[in-house]
Amino acid sequence: MMCVFRRSFLVAIMCLGVALCWADKRSEIAEKIAKLPQPVQLTFWQTHNAEETATLKDIIADFEKAHPNVKIKMDTVAFAEAQTKFKTAAKAGQAPDCFRCEVAWTAEMADLGYLTPLDDYLTAADKASYLDMPMRVAQYQDETWGLPQVTDCLALLYNKRILKEAGVEPPRSMDELVEVGKKITNPEKKVYAFAYPANDSYFMLPFIWAFGGGLIDEKTGEILIANEGSVRGLQFMLDLRNKYKIVPPTFDIANDYNNQLEDFKGGRIAMIFMGPWATANILTGSEFKNNPSNLGVAMLPSGPAGSGSPIGGHCYVVSASCKNPDIAFYFLDWINSAKNQVRFTVRNNLLPTHREAYEMPEVKSNELVQAFRKQLDVARARPVIPAGAGLFPPLTQAYQDALRGAKSPKEALDFVAREWAKLTKK
């Protein structure tokens, strides 16, 4: 017993020592900043929308006020352009010091040598302060390349009024989705139970995983997208529209994501799979703006193989060409504190990555955020591989071919498997 106690005591002392070591390092960097002979400027590219950028500007203003020797030159880059723009700049040796990186891009950027590893600045306690999955997708080949900034996943969003009037509860399984959907759908009134966007294959993933499909096995490199489970998942999506008729019969590929949101906001769609990033917009809709509690969030329905919600989000990274990586890390670590993450939650309904943030009163009382947190606990990561960011264009092409009836689900996913084999050289 005494030996066990002594070992536990020694481990605790070692952990405390490591934490204090980084606390000292933080203090050293802060002291270095305070003694700079002239201010240092850090360039920072970020991809938030307008409302989120306003929050970020306030946080950065607070940082500059507390650290007058560090000036931040922030540029907002359109999300759709950010990956290519950063890679082009990094290749030319002109990358910004700091960058807000989508989690699917991180492994590729690290593999190309465009990022600074952060493990020298992070203790085990620092890493453990983040939720497991957001930290996992910030790592590649046993090194940490980013600070998890926000996270997200898909959950079932539903209109409580419509479900109550139909006398049903949120579906817990894919079979229940069909049963509930038939009770809600009323084509004459142009009300449908469910919808999914035809222009984004990201929303396929819960169906693929629910029926036993997969993407790519990270350990073996095996491509799973065309296996029997994946084909069944895509077929089920098609059946929701063509066989069970609980999804609107027509779609507009170019605008389907926005159309789906507008129909949900207006009470023409009862349920969608959606992430927390859309909730602020949804709450402006006629069904919710005067009654926000009408918006419900539930776990994704499960299929024969269980359920799976894709984890997304962003992390802060330091470029390999940054001349002051310690100061850049200090800046990102400061603006990414649990307290500052909560500011994004309160103002923008974004999900924090710090465990501590979920215990703060402003987050603990946010029913939408707490509901997404439950789904996040069982979310699944997309493959953390250099080719990860390139997986979706061929998947979306095949998805749309299947929706149009140009290819069967099997033919469509066989095409994806061949394209992914080229990307991963398998």
Amino acid identity for residue 46 in this structure: Q
Q: Is 112 in the same domain as 52?
A: yes
Q: Is the dihedral of CA 376, 380, 385, 390 positive or negative?
A: negative
Prediction pTM value = 0.87
Res 2: pLDDT: 40
Using CA atoms, how far apart are residues 97 and 115, in angstroms rounded to an integer? 10
Q: CB neighbours (10 Å) of residue 350? A: 27
Q: Is 405 in the same domain as 302?
A: yes
Q: Is 115 in the same domain as 196?
A: no
Q: Is 70 in the same domain as 142?
A: yes
* Residues in the chain where the model's pLDDT stays below 50: 1-20
Q: Is 286 in the same domain as 206?
A: yes
Asked, for residue 24, whether it belongs to a domain, the answer is: no
Is 192 within 8 Å of 247 (Cβ atoms)? yes
Is 372 within 8 Å of 146 (Cβ atoms)? no
Token representation of residue 54: 């306003």
Res 24: pLDDT: 67
Asked, for residue 8, whether it belongs to a domain, the answer is: no
Token representation of residue 348: 């923008």
106: nearest Cα among 154, 76, 141? 141
Q: Is 300 in the same domain as 413?
A: yes
Q: Is 207 in the same domain as 293?
A: yes
Token representation of residue 424: 């991963």
Asked, for residue 27, whether it belongs to a domain, the answer is: no
Asked, for residue 198, whether it belongs to a domain, the answer is: yes
Q: Is 306 in the same domain as 320?
A: no
Q: CB neighbours (10 Å) of residue 418? A: 12
Range of the domain at 241: 155-310+391-424
Is 225 within 8 Å of 413 (Cβ atoms)? yes
Q: CB neighbours (10 Å) of residue 404? A: 11
Asked, for residue 21, whether it belongs to a domain, the answer is: no
Q: CB neighbours (10 Å) of residue 381? A: 18
Asked, for residue 368, whether it belongs to a domain, the answer is: yes
CATH number for the domain harbouring residue 145: 3.40.190.10
Q: Is 109 in the same domain as 183?
A: no
> Based on the structure, what is the number of domains in the chain?
2
Token representation of residue 69: 């020797």
Q: Is 78 in the same domain as 144?
A: yes
Asked, for residue 17, whether it belongs to a domain, the answer is: no
Q: Collect contacts of 286-294 with beta carbons under 8 A, ≥24 apart.
A: 287/159, 287/161, 293/160, 294/159, 294/160, 294/161
Res 96: pLDDT: 99
Asked, for residue 6, whether it belongs to a domain, the answer is: no
Q: Is 261 in the same domain as 195?
A: yes
Q: Is 323 in the same domain as 356?
A: yes
Using CA atoms, how far apart are residues 422 and 400, in angstroms rounded to an integer? 21
